[in-house]
Amino acid sequence: MNFLLLLLAFAAGSAISTQAAVNSQLAGGLNGNTVASALVSFVIGTLALAVIALSKGGLSAAIASLPNQPLWRFGGGFLGAAAIFSTVLLAPRIGLANMLALVIAGQLLTSLAIDHFGLMGMVTRHVSGVRVVGAIVLLAGVLITLFGDALFKVLFKSTGALS
């Protein structure tokens, strides 16, 4: 695999974490209005993408192709808005690390299903046993992230190690 693409994927993950924290703070500055914060985030993102799309060219041909697309292909915008709204809503309530652990688990499990079955026109990529083990390890990490402190206290209190 191309190392630069892997690095870009890692940077995208870092951006998602940072974006959730920034949008959460924006919501606080907007009197707790999580919907307004998500909207502002999308407006700024839309403007940035518009500048990039205009500078790249070919936008009019892409726009002309829009009516030929099946309706389900427009669901990405709704899903993106729902995801951003959810991060703004959840980060201050359950914590950024807990929220993102669950987001990553959801992304991984859904991605494995999409890859394995070639859903939504994606190339079919068989999910191997090693990938399933990786998903299990990730899910174990999510559980440790969410409940590890409490489990640690229970285990060591029952053995008397914390006394």
**pLDDT recorded at residue 155:** 83
pLDDT attached to residue 159: 67
Give the integer Cα–Cα distance in Å for 63 and 75.
17
**pLDDT range class, residue 156, cuts 50, 70, 90:** confident
What confidence category does residue 160 fall into, taking pLDDT thresholds of 50, 70 and 90? low
**Region 73-81: what's the mean pLDDT?**
93
Domain ranges of the chain: 1-94, 96-163
